[in-house]
Amino acid sequence: MMHVVYPPHCLTCNAIVGTDGGLCADCWGRTPFLTGLRCDLCGVPLPGDDPTEIACCDDCLRIARPWSKGRAVLAYRDNGRRLVLSFKHGDRTELARAAGAWMAIAARDIRLPGQIVAPTPLHWRRLFKRRYNQAALLGARLASELELEHCPDLLKRHRFTGSQEGKGRDARFANLVDSISINPRQSVRVADRPVLLVDDVLTSGATLAACAEACYAAGATDVRVVALARVVKDG
Ligand SMILES: [Zn+2]
Ligand SMILES: [Zn+2]
């Protein structure tokens, strides 16, 4: 009867909501969920009405994406950005419950039999500071919703790469070269299997690209990605 003492609050404001881990109607309306036609590789919204059409954005035409399909739940702006930031830095870990379920809905059509779910890794120094890997919390929930195996330590970040914030795209890719690899203890699990990579925010795609390359190098048959939020350029 915890709710008598602590009624569930909306994930992005203090309004009391009827069920655990949701958004109130106001915040739901102000959260930029991605709907309609989107890029098949990175989830960015594209002009067009038919969401079943397979389309590709300009960025994904220009930059090699070493994964076959990608999905995202919301745009990284306004309430979408607030939601991700409170999850990342504000210890709102209960967000993973709702957000992981939204991600499972977004990734439903890219689920494959035998797919192994793996989060993008944090360096142990950052993990120590933050106490949890937000991508792994999302991955656990997503995997259980999609009835897939979750391997939270499939990938390892063996070099501290510092923050990617404020870096341009080329600098982000250069910063990550050879910084991520398969955890040797888990390498047998990825051979001859498809992988679904999970991250909280897809910005340049550099981290997910480094993770995907590591999975293929270990024998993965296919790599797909899902992010909670996609950074969308203005205009
Ligand atoms: Zn609210
Ligand atoms: Zn794209």
Collect all residues with Cβ–Cβ distance below 8 Å to 76 and sequence separation of at least 6: 84, 201, 203, 229, 230, 231, 232
Region 68-73: what's the mean pLDDT?
Answer: 97
Neighbour count for residue 19 (Cβ, 10 Å): 7
pLDDT digits (tens, 9 = 90+) for 155-165: 998 866 666 66
What percent of the chain stands above pLDDT 70?
A: 87
Distance from the CA of 130 to the center of ligand 1, in angstroms? 25
Nearest ligand by distance to the CA of 30: 1
Distance from the CA of 198 to the center of ligand 1, in angstroms? 26
Nearest ligand by distance to the CA of 58: 2
Region 121-138: what's the mean pLDDT?
Answer: 82
Distance of alpha carbon 163 from the chain centroid: 17
Nearest ligand by distance to the CA of 63: 2
Helix, strand, or coil here: 226?
A: strand
Distance from the CA of 192 to the center of ligand 2, in angstroms? 26
15: β partners: none
pLDDT digits (tens, 9 = 90+) for 14-61: 888 876 668 899 999 999 999 889 999 999 999 887 777 889 999 999
